[in-house]
Amino acid sequence: MKTETLTTYIALSMIGTGCAGPVSGPEDPTPETAPVLYIVSMMHAEESIAFHQNEATYERHASALEEQRALFAKHGARLDFGPDWTFIEGVKRWDPTQLTDHLAAGQGLHTHAHETQWDLANVNERLASVGVEGNSIANGGFLEEGPDGSNWMGYVSSLQDSAGTPLFSTAIGFKNPQTQIPDTSATCFRPSVDGDWDVHDPNGRMLYLGSNSSGVAGEGALDFETLRSWMDDRLANLDPDAMNTLYWHDSLHMYGQEQDAAARRARWEQEFDEYLDPLADAGLIQWATFQEMAAVCAD
Ligand SMILES: [Zn+2]
């Protein structure tokens, strides 16, 4: 399904689910309030670094995470962190309150598991072992299918705890690991758990939050050179009948060396001051963790 078709379909379907932004009546095609664009900086720690094997490596990256948290807090912005299993093991060994502190600061966490030895359920359990119980946001398992042969979303939806309660209610950031092509949807919708997952199902139990990535292999990573034009374009084309969402993929390893990290934080400061803060002050963008976005969408 092409993006435009999907967006229209979702917008039409969502009117009846309460999962939409401002909706105007049929005789009034102009919404009274301009729709808001919900955004977040998604940041991953990838297992290629093996954070749990070297305390100094872990500490360097954990400090970078704390600095990022402070920087974002200063601007009322939101960071949603997906620590891989090795980072969580580092937390367990050397820094047991790191992730609970992150949540207590009002920032977000999601369960992040690529196509590796540990799946989403395992990483979710590891999060619980460091005080983050019941994280409901899933990112990973992209090649998996549900037990009945259903799609990726069927797989995510089927994961349960030992009491039979579903682990996840929301999924984010789909990228085909074979082609590296990211999903291009740009709204919150209820994915189908059979057939094509990116087709809205008004009765679906899961939510998906689109990133507004372009459908180009490898795209989606944070690129300061194109951030403003990308968001400007999106802001000029918001869907008035849906909840509009946008996020990129930042990586903790970009902050692993102090000099690079300081330069990157300076660039963030510039983006906040010149571009992001004015948009937020004008009410055109709304920072929200994935959890906060899901709550708005489900409302
Ligand atoms: Zn990742």
CB contact at 8 A, 108 and 78: yes
Assess whether pLDDT exceeds 80 at residue 29: no
Tell me what percent of the residues of the chain surpass a pLDDT of 70: 89
Distance 112 CA to ligand 1 centre (A): 7
Q: Can you tell me the distance from the alpha carbon of 254 to that of 222, in angstroms, rounded to the nearest whole number? A: 11
Q: Which domains does the chain have, with CATH numbers?
A: 3-14+34-298 (3.20.20.370)
Residue 30, pLDDT score: 52
Residue 14, pLDDT score: 41
Taking only the tens place, the pLDDT of each residue in 100-149 is 999 999 999 999 997 678 999 999 999 999 999 999 999 999 999 998 99
Assess whether pLDDT exceeds 70 at residue 7: no
Taking only the tens place, the pLDDT of each residue in 76-95 is 999 999 999 999 999 999 99
Distance 28 CA to ligand 1 centre (A): 43
CB contact at 8 A, 208 and 292: no
Distance 83 CA to ligand 1 centre (A): 9
Q: Tally the C-alpha atoms within 13 A of residue 190's C-alpha that lie toward its C-beta.
A: 18
Distance 114 CA to ligand 1 centre (A): 7
Query: What pTM value is reported for the model?
Result: 0.88
Residue linked to tokens 């229209």? 8
Residue 24, pLDDT score: 45
Taking only the tens place, the pLDDT of each residue in 146-169 is 989 999 999 999 999 999 999 999
Q: Can you tell me the distance from the alpha carbon of 101 to that of 62, in angstroms, rounded to the nearest whole number? A: 12
* Mean pLDDT of the residues in the chain: 90
Per-residue pLDDT band at 194 (split at 50, 70, 90) = confident
Assess whether pLDDT exceeds 70 at residue 238: yes
